[in-house]
Structure 1
Amino acid sequence: MIYEHPLAYVLGIEGIALLRGFTGEYDRAFVEARLAEVRRLLDDESLAGAGVEVDRVGTVEGYRIWSRTYGGPNAAFDLDEPVVGEILDALPAGVALDAACGTGRWSAALAARGHRVIGVDSSPEMLARARAEVPGSEFRLGELTGLPLDDDAVDLVVCALALSHVPDLRPVLAEFARVLRPGGHLVIADMHPEVVARGSNQPVRDAEGRPGRLVSHRHLVGDYLRAALPVGLQVRRCEEPRMPVPDPDPDAPAPAAPGPWEVWPWALNALVPDAARAASAGVPGLLVWHFHQRS
């Protein structure tokens, strides 16, 4: 069970902003404004009793619920598509695995680049959407830790926005290495550990309306390397696309504190806009890897 309290979140954002001020990124006036805002937040009765008990939801159940709206707007898509697309554009067409394919977003992109696509996902509901979205490709039910493919079966593996849901990267990357042919390529895009630490995990509600979050794990850069290098995967490229920081809107109405749970935590930034902009400046949103399998 997770206990999400909006006051805890906004105080955390204030704390990050204050640390950046402490190290010289912001001036005295900014720091004093943050301290005054912290005092105001602590006195705000609308935040005092607004905590919510939230269930941890596994990927199969979570994506069953999320599958109905998964193709909708997603800020992570805007971050991964330019970088991953650039990497894919430089690779020859072949047999490609879209691992944790979801509704087939990358399956469609791979097919458009001339690949013969095999999509694997653990969610039957997601696979049903993918089959409808990407006719002519092959989709299989399976787990990342036990891919339903033979050894040396594919030339390329793409895995996008899925690995933060697995507790240990090592068995997953070992599977990717197993199904890759010698000289093959692996492209991974996932949530950066910085934003996972700030609560970037999908909200869902069960049939009874209880709030839940998809289980997420924070994988550091070194965790990927410790999983990849021993199984013969060599680093070709690593990118950390940064989250956009919106400009202040002086005409924006004051938010209704703390707002509905479904839009937490990011909507809570509107309660502390100056601190949120300072805390988010330059922060990467994704971690994108390009690995090459030794020949």
Structure 2
Amino acid sequence: MARLRDIVPVVHEHPLAYVIGLQGIALLQGFIGEHDREFIEARLAEVRELLADERLARPVDVTRVSTVDGYRTWSATYDDPANAAFAIDVPVVKRIVDELPAGTALDAACGTGRYAELLVERGHRVIGVDSSPEMLELARKRLPGSEFREGTLHHLPVDEVDLVVCGLALTHNPDLTPIFAEFARVLRPGGHLVIADIHPDGVLRGSIPTVRGPNGEPHRLVTYRHSMGDYVRAALAAGLTVRHCEEPQPEAPPPGSKATDVGPWDVWPWSLAALVPEAAHAAVEGQLVVWHFQRDSLRTM
């Protein structure tokens, strides 16, 4: 479970601290033999250069905001092709869903209906639920033939579905246990649950959505870092069995792709990682995690 004492309302985001942190992860891997001497010496040389880079000495204080407030702003650009996570999670989710029979499916925390559209294309009757009215409005325009309802992951206004999918939402919640219990409640015996979420290592590396406040102030959606074990324990407690787990990662950057621009805060930490691409790639143990669970066919809720 996330250490709640570490979730502070205002975060001091220091760009130098970030890039040095990536170098540190890479160097720790080198210390246990995952990289050779040339790699380690290159990282140390980069550290010396980074310490002298005045552009990295301009920190930003960032306020955490709720998902309702954050997605109200983000909804206008959420489906932008630049949202890199979409290129990673969808292929894995498709492979899992393609093996399941069509039925009644719930897209929990449906957002603009990305997964709902995928499910409709595969013959499912889809119900989408989200806490953001702005996201639901976009989902209804996207799929006028499907049903979308306002609700939360803790209180889903749905009963008896064959499949639940949930994308990039659980990290915004401090405790997974009641959410998995709610998923199990709405699933028919033998039903399936497919979850894509930010990998705990991805959260550690700052893969947290950025939004601007009404006066341009920097905000990030409140996000918690759950261990892989947190997901498994919550699922088992709800009577769900792990069927599959995958940790898709982005491809390695091409040689010579080192960026020279720190970038505006809105594209941190991704622009910062691009300053040290070899260290950043070495530090990527997982960008997303995709889980497939199944409810016990004998259990009654």
Relative to the length of structure 1, the TM-score reads: 0.94
Matches within 5 A, 1:80-95: 80-95=89-104
Runs of 4+ in 1 over 4 A off after TM superposition: none
Tell me the SS of whatever aligns to 1:75. coil
CA apart distance, 1:275: 2.3
Q: Is the 8 A contact 2:177 2:237 kept in 1?
A: no
One-letter amino acid of the structure 1 residue matched with residue 96 of structure 2: I
Look up the match of 2:218: 211
1:141-165: per-residue Cα shift (whole Å, max 9, x none)?
A: 0010011123xx2111000111111
CA apart distance, 1:76: 1.4
Matches within 5 A, 1:81-230: 81-150=90-159, 153-230=160-237
CA distance 1:292–1:273, change in 2 (3 Å) = closer
Distance 1:277 1:292 in 2: 33
Match for residue 286 of structure 2 among 277, 284, 287: 284
> Within the alignment, does 1:255 sit opposite 2:260 as a pair?
yes
CA apart distance, 1:6: 0.5
Structure 2 alignment gaps of length 5 or more: 1-9
Look up the match of 1:246: 253
Tell me the SS of whatever aligns to 2:136. helix
Identity across matched positions, percent:
65
CA apart distance, 1:277: 3.3
Q: Is the 8 A contact 2:173 2:223 kept in 1?
A: yes
CA apart distance, 1:106: 0.7
CA apart distance, 1:28: 2.3
Distance 2:288 2:273 in 1: 19
Relative to the length of structure 2, the TM-score reads: 0.92
CA apart distance, 1:47: 1.9
Distance 1:2 1:154 in 2: 40
Structure 1 alignment gaps of length 5 or more: none
CA apart distance, 1:8: 0.3
CA apart distance, 1:211: 0.4
Tell me the SS of whatever aligns to 1:271. coil
Match for residue 63 of structure 2 among 39, 50, 55: 55
Aligned-CA RMSD value: 1.3
One-letter amino acid of the structure 1 residue matched with residue 60 of structure 2: V
Distance 1:148 1:221 in 2: 28
Match for residue 75 of structure 2 among 67, 78, 89: 67
CA apart distance, 1:249: 2.5
CA apart distance, 1:176: 0.4
Look up the match of 1:266: 270
One-letter amino acid of the structure 2 residue matched with residue 255 of structure 1: T
CA apart distance, 1:208: 0.5
Distance 1:288 1:18 in 2: 28
Tell me the SS of whatever aligns to 2:85. helix
Distance 2:196 2:274 in 1: 28
CA apart distance, 1:272: 2.1
Distance 1:278 1:171 in 2: 35
1:92-141: per-residue Cα shift (whole Å, max 9, x none)?
A: 11111000000001111111111111100000000000000011100000
Which deviates the most, 37-46 or 110-119? 37-46
Q: Is the 8 A contact 2:191 2:295 kept in 1?
A: yes
1:182-223: per-residue Cα shift (whole Å, max 9, x none)?
A: 111111111111111100000000110000001111111110
Distance 1:178 1:112 in 2: 26
One-letter amino acid of the structure 2 residue matched with residue 291 of structure 1: F
1:54-101: per-residue Cα shift (whole Å, max 9, x none)?
A: 010110000000000001122211111111101111111111100000
Distance 1:141 1:154 in 2: 17
Distance 1:193 1:116 in 2: 32
